Amino acid sequence: MNAGLTVLKALASSCSVVMILSSAPSLYRIHKRYDTGDVALFPLVGLWLNCCMVMLYGWTPGSYFPLFATYVFGTIISTAYVAVYLRWTKARAYAHKAIGATLIANILGSVYVVLGMTGVTRQPSDQVKLIAGNMMTVACLLLYIAPFETIKTVLKTRSGASIPFGMCLAGASSNLIWTIEGLFTKDMFILLLSAACSALGFVQVALYLVFRPKTKGPSALAADLSVSTDKKYILPVKVDNPTTVSAPPAVALVPPRCGDKLDSISSPTLVPVCIS
C-alpha cells in the first residue's frame, strides 16, 4: 500500500508539473512576438497565487513531497510567467494592479505561515494548517475560475482562443489525480478542493471545444500570400526619338534563354512604360 501511495503521489506531482509548464509555449510566443496577443493575465496570476499557497500548505503538515517540492518549482516558474507578461503587455495599468495585488497576497500568506510554524503567533500547528488550507482553497478556486474572466469575450467572438486550453486540460487531469491521492491520505482539503477544481477545469475544456478557434486553411493562406494583379509596374524602355513619341511601345516580357545574345545599350534614353 505504501509503494502504491508513493507511485500515486509521484503521478500527481508529475501531472502538476505538466500543468505548470503548459503555459510555457504561450509565454515563449509572447517573448518572441513582443506582444501578449489573446493571452489573458488572470490565469497567470492565479497560477502564481495557487502555487505559492499550495507550497505553504504543504509545509504545515510536513508534506515535503509531493506538495511542497512540486509547488516550490511552480512558484518559481509562475513568477517567470508573470514577469514575461508584464514585460510585453500593453495594458500596463491593469497588469500592475493584478500583479501587485497577487504579490501582496503571496507576501502576507508567506509571512503568516512562517510566523505560525516558527511559534511566533503561539498557535498550534493544526490551527496554522487549517488557516493555510483555507488560503489554499481560495487560491486554487481563483486559478480555475480565472479563465471564466474571458467568458464574455468567448461568447461575443464565438472563439475560445482566450481560454488557456493547455492549462485547463492539464490542471483538470492533475486535480483528478490529486482527488484520488486525497482520498487515500484522508486529507479533506486536498480531496474536496481537487474535486472541485477538476470539475471546473473540465467545464472550461468543454467550453473551448464548443468554441474552438478557427485556423486558416491552405486556400486562405494562399489568398493572403497572393500578389495583387491590379498593381502597375514601371519598366524602362529605349526609344529612338523620345520627343516625337505619342505612345510608348508595347514590350513583351520574355525572359532570355540560354544562348541568346543580349545587345548592349549605350547612353539610352528611357521612358516609363506602364504594364497592367
State pLDDT tens for residues 35-81. 998 788 888 999 999 999 999 999 998 888 888 999 999 999 999 99
Radius of gyration in angstroms for the set of CA atoms belonging to the chain, rounded to a whole number: 31
Instruction: Give the Cα separation of 189 and 45 in Å (integer).
Output: 22
What confidence tier does 166 reach under pLDDT thresholds 50, 70, 90? confident
Mean pLDDT across 99-112? 96
C-alpha dihedral (121, 123, 129, 135), degrees to nearest 10: -50
**What b-and-e string marks burial along 156-190, b requiring 16 or more CB atoms within 10 Å of the CB?**
eeebbbbbbbbbbbbbbbbbbbbbbbbeeeebebb
Instruction: Please give the residue that has the higher pLDDT: either 205 or 3.
Output: 205
What confidence tier does 229 reach under pLDDT thresholds 50, 70, 90? very low
Mean pLDDT across 131-148? 84
State pLDDT tens for residues 78-99. 999 999 999 999 999 999 999 9
Instruction: Please give the residue that has the higher pLDDT: either 224 or 123.
Output: 123
What is residue 234's predicted lDDT score, i.e. its pLDDT?
46
Q: Is the pLDDT of residue 181 over 50?
A: yes
Instruction: Please give the residue that has the higher pLDDT: either 108 or 259.
Output: 108
